[in-house]
């Protein structure tokens, strides 16, 4: 997972199901990031099938977090990079899956983590049917997504 906990400044936190076509794009980008930042002790990559409350502890230990996920709200293949803020719970059914806003809020409530810079990188999903390959538009979007990911991490580390 790249950097050991005590030196890590930037956490790349991805989620996705690699058996559900485009839903796995976050995990694929995490695999690329794992290799890209393999020798960089400032960066840690964690990929999970879904984000869980336990990750609040990981977030609280770093200066910055880049969340990486697919999105069913964006057109297929569209790459977005948006800031993330801790947010009030808005659906009342948080159990063993939380979103990026809720994770930041948990990190703040539990660990007093208030200085975490965070962004959410999403790639619009075309298909979330059973499958291990991406749709054409998501496959075509991967180079741009990698570029956005790399630049975001570099900006985090420069701050």
Partner 1 sequence: MSQTITIDPVTRLEGHGKISIYLNDQGEVENANFHVTQVRGFERFSEGRPFYEMPSLMARICGICPVSHLIASAKACEAIMAVRIPHTAAQLRRMLNLAQMVQSHALSFFYLASPDLLLGMESDPMQRNILGVAAAKPELGRAGIGLRRFGQHIIELLGNKRIHPGWVVPGGVTEPLSSAKRDEILGMIPEAHRNLHLAIDAYKQIASTFKAEIEVFANFPTNYLGLVNEDESIEFTDGALRLIDAKGATIEDGMTATRFTEAIGEAVEPYTYTKFAYYKPLGYPEGSYRVGPLARLNIISKMGTPQADVELAEYKQLASGPVESSFYYHHARLVEMLYGIEKIEEILSDPKILDTHVRATAGVNRLEGAGQAEAPRGTLMHNYKVDENGKMLWANLVIATGQNNNAMNRGVLQAAKHYVKDGKFTEGLLNRVEAVVRTFDPCLSCSTHAFGQMPLEIKLVNANGELVDRVVRG
**Count of residues that bind partner 1 according to CB under 8 A:** 20
Q: Is 9 near partner 1 (CB under 8 A)?
A: no
Secondary structure of residue 29 in the 3-state scheme: helix
Q: Is 109 near partner 1 (CB under 8 A)?
A: yes
Q: Which of 106, 116, 121, 148 is close enough to bind partner 1 by CB under 8 A?
A: 106
Q: Which of 81, 94, 142, 157 is close enough to bind partner 1 by CB under 8 A?
A: 94
Please say which residue, 88 or 158, places its beta carbon nearer to partner 1: 88
Q: Is 57 near partner 1 (CB under 8 A)?
A: yes
Q: Is 115 near partner 1 (CB under 8 A)?
A: no
Q: What angle do CA 80, 86, 87 make, to 5 degrees?
A: 95
Q: Which of 7, 38, 41, 54 is close enough to bind partner 1 by CB under 8 A?
A: 54
Give residues with Cβ within 8 angstroms of 14, minimum separation 6. Answer: 26, 27, 29, 30, 33, 45, 46, 47, 48, 67, 68, 69
Percent helix, strand, coil in the chain (nearest 5)?
40, 25, 40
Q: Which of 56, 65, 84, 121 is close enough to bind partner 1 by CB under 8 A?
A: 56
Buried b (16+ CB within 10 A) or exposed e, 1-12: ebbeeeebbbbb
Give residues with Cβ within 8 angstroms of 3, minimum separation 6. Answer: 40, 41, 42, 43, 44
Q: Which of 6, 35, 85, 96 is close enough to bind partner 1 by CB under 8 A?
A: 96
Please say which residue, 97 or 151, places its beta carbon nearer to partner 1: 97
What are the residues binding partner 1 (CB under 8 A)?
A: 49, 53-54, 56-57, 89-96, 98, 102, 105-106, 109-111
């Amino acid at each position: 997972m790249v950097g050991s906990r005590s030196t890590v400044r930037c956490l790349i936190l991805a989620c996705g199901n690699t058996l559900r076509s485009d839903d796995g794009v976050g995990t694929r980008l995490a695999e690329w990031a794992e290799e890209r930042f393999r020798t960089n002790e400032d960066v840690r990559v964690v990929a999970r099938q879904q984000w869980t409350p336990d990750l609040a502890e990981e977030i609280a230990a770093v200066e910055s977090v880049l969340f990486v996920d697919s999105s069913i709200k964006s057109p297929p293949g569209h790459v977005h990079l948006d800031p993330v803020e801790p947010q009030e719970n808005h659906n009342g059914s948080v159990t063993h899956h939380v979103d990026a806003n809720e994770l930041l809020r948990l990190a703040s409530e539990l660990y007093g983590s208030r200085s975490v810079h965070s962004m959410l990188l999403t790639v619009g999903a075309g298909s979330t049917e059973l499958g291990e390959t991406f749709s054409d538009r998501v496959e075509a979007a991967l180079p741009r997504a990698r570029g956005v990911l790399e630049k975001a991490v570099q900006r985090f580390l420069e701050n």
